[in-house]
Chains A and B, each alone.
Chain A
Amino acid sequence: MSEENKIEFPGEVHPTDGGGILVTKLDDVINWARANSLWPLVFGTSCCAIEMMSAADAKYDWSRFGFEVARATPRQADLIIVAGTIVIKMAPVLKRLYDQMPEPKYVIAMGACTISGGPFFYNTYSVVKGVDHVIPVDVYIPGCPPRPEALLHAMITLQEKIKTEHTSFSKGVPSDKKPKTVEG
């Protein structure tokens, strides 16, 4: 493998006869694995969903970064991309979907509607003024709708964030902060 194409793996490999020894931190390896196989939930409510589909097509091709395994059920998803306006009738459904996802789970708020209620809908009676009133958000993307490149940038930003996290295997993390499902 040439120097440029080398896979960025956390840790140091010390070559020995017939293989090598890897010196690394468990946290780094787990985060590396998590960050490179983010499976999004198929969740689009309006216009932004079309740009999310565009990000999946051959021109933008989010599978380059390991995002392409879009799941229809929250139980298999790591990530919700909230693509589109959330109205008051939809908010409990979104909360339920989020609750059904296994830990660790992440949220990307895509588009102006999910940040603040939108470029137009901020003063209407039916729209939730920002999806962070319902579920916690990791990355916000402005735009109406954001371009597919913006979505890719957001997902790479999320990867960066994941790579700095503590996992439940690391010491010194308070027990209530530990994700429950990966324990043991």
Chain B
Amino acid sequence: MSLMGQDVLTEDGLFMVNIGPQHPSTHGVLHLKVWLDGETIVKIQPHLGYIHRSIEKMSENLSYRNFIFATSRMDYLSAHINNEACALTVEKGLGIQATPRAKVIRIIMAELTRLASHQLWWGCTGLDLGAVTPFFYAFRDREAINGIMEETCGARLTMNYMVPGGVMYDLHPNFQKHTKDVMASIKKNLADYDNLLTGNVIFEMRTKGVGVLSKEDAISFGCTGPTARASGVSCDIRKLFPYSGYENVQFDEILATGGDCYDRYMCRMAEMRQSVNIIEQLIDTIPEGDFQEKTKAVIKLPKGEFYQRVETARGELGVYIVSDGAASPYRVKYRSPGFSNLSALSQMAQGVKIGDLVAIMATIDLVIPDIDR
């Protein structure tokens, strides 16, 4: 039997279905080949490259200031954190550190980004599982955070705010007041989130015990972020390898043990509260001073290799720069969290029904341009 020139019935009696690259629940242009035994998933093979923009190769021709901005388009929901990772790597090469004021601004911005990213994830998870209302609740709060970003950075989504040595501009005069207002309303609204989805019987039936990833598998597939922490793997870079002054902030690393969709969901919900907590600790104590360390107009890194890892909303992002002493990097490599998390999808989905695949993909929280780069 063939469909559009492809054999869909394999020799061992399995049925092959293509999902994507244009499919509303793949959150982008991911293509999955799924082999089914009846309705049960036997194997999944992800196909990548539908949004491969060659950001790594392109960076080899950009200066150390400019290559940072392409990373806003990589994991666009964690744009600040991507920029920060690159800026930190360049700073490592230069042997400088951001100013104390810039460090605190970076943490606040990173946590605002994480909140906005998790809110979008929460809304889309609801949409994927058939609940439309969460989308509107999530975007109401997300828009408030976008407003803060716009005030200070001048952009809603791709901020390009982090530069080597600090941040590009100083904070907007309204920043502290605006942020405090938004945090107060988000704290209240997080209870709404729980009322809408967390305790919902249908939602729990569709996520509890579905797509279980064991601790051993999470480690061997290199999963990071909430996907791995839901399986009990302690991997929060903010705790284990603190950067930008996270060592001075009080917050908990959220861990769960079940490793199913529900635990991944609960991990992200708890992380939102932790982010609010971090922002509230810092918002009143932003040190005065310069927002940017003085750097040369043309940055040249010494010969060598530099690596920096940060915790994005999806997991561990690693930036690896090889320098030959010129004004642009010799080679840039990104270790993106989505790529490793996606590799565990086949393991998670084995033996579940095809309808539950949507729930699993929603709770891994994939951003496809982050995977393809």
Do the beta carbons of A57 and B139 come within 8 Å of each other?
A: yes
List, in ascending order, chain B residues with CB within 8 A of A120's CB: 55, 58, 69-70, 73
Task: Tell which of A46, A57, A97, A144 touches B369, judged by Cβ atoms closer than 8 Å.
Answer: A46
Which chain A residues in 39-66 approach chain B with CB under 8 Å? 42-47, 49-51, 53-54, 57-59
- Looking across the interface, which residue of chain A has its beta carbon closest to that of B76? A47
Complex interface: chain B residues within 8 A of A49 (CB): 28
Chain B interfacial residues counted at CB < 8 A:
35
Establish whether residues B58 and A124, one from each chain, have CB atoms under 8 Å apart when the complex forms. yes
Find residues 99-131 in chain A having any chain B CB closer than 8 Å to their own CB: 118, 120-121, 123-127
Whether the pair A89, B58 counts as a contact (CB closer than 8 A) is no
Q: Which of B17-25, B107-115, B255-263 contacts A (4 or more CB under 8 A)?
A: B17-25
Q: Which residues of A contact B55 (CB under 8 A)?
A: 120
**Chain B residue with minimal CB distance to A61?**
B136
- Interface pair B76/A72, CB less than 8 Å apart: no
B369, A47: Cβ atoms closer than 8 Å = yes
- B residues within 8 A CB of A50? 76-77, 120, 157
Q: Are B53 and A90 in contact (CB under 8 A)?
A: no
Output the least CB separation between B29 and chain A (Å): 5
- Distance of A146 from chain B, by nearest CB (Å): 10
Of the residues A57, A127, A147, contact of B140 by C-beta under 8 Å = A57
B158:A125 contact, CB within 8 angstroms: no
Q: Chain B's interface: helix, strand, loop or mixed, by majority? A: helix
Q: Which residues on the A side are within 8 Å of B29 (C-beta)? A: 45, 90, 93
The stretch from B44-52, B167-175, B246-254, B325-333 touching chain A is B44-52
Give every chain B residue within 8 A of A58 (Cβ-Cβ): 136, 139-140
Point out the residues of chain A lying under 8 angstroms from B58, CB to CB. Answer: 120-121, 123-124
For the complex, is B135 an interface residue (Cβ under 8 Å from A)? yes
Docked complex Cα distance between A54 and B139 (Å): 7
Query: Taking the complex as formed, is B39 at the interface, i.e. its CB lies under 8 A from any CB of chain A?
Result: no
Q: Is B57 an interface residue (CB 8 A)?
A: yes
Q: How far is the CB of B332 from chain A (nearest CB, A)?
A: 13
| A155: Cβ under 8 A from any B Cβ | no
A145 CB to closest chain B CB (Å) equals 6
Nearest-Cβ distance from residue A44 to partner chain B, whole angstroms: 7
**Residue picked from B69, B73, B157, most chain A C-beta under 10 Å:** B73
Q: With A58-B139, A84-B51 as known contacts, state yes or no: A44 contacts B76, CB within 8 Å.
A: no
CB distance from B160 to the nearest CB of A (A): 10
List A residues 66-100 near B (Cβ within 8 Å): 72, 84-85, 87, 89-90, 93, 97
Q: Are B52 and A59 in contact (CB under 8 A)?
A: no
Chain B residue nearest in CB terms to A120? B70
- Determine whether the beta carbon of A124 is less than 8 Å from that of B53: yes
Question: B-side interface residues toward A, CB under 8 Å?
Answer: 21-24, 28-29, 49-55, 57-58, 61, 69-70, 72-73, 76-77, 120, 135-136, 139-140, 142-143, 146, 156-158, 368-369
Selected A-B contacts with CB under 8 Å, 29 pairs: A45-B369, A46-B369, A47-B72, A47-B73, A47-B76, A50-B120, A53-B120, A54-B142, A57-B135, A57-B136, A57-B139, A57-B140, A59-B139, A87-B49, A87-B50, A87-B51, A87-B52, A90-B21, A93-B21, A93-B29, A97-B22, A120-B73, A121-B53, A123-B58, A123-B61, A125-B57, A126-B52, A126-B53, A145-B158
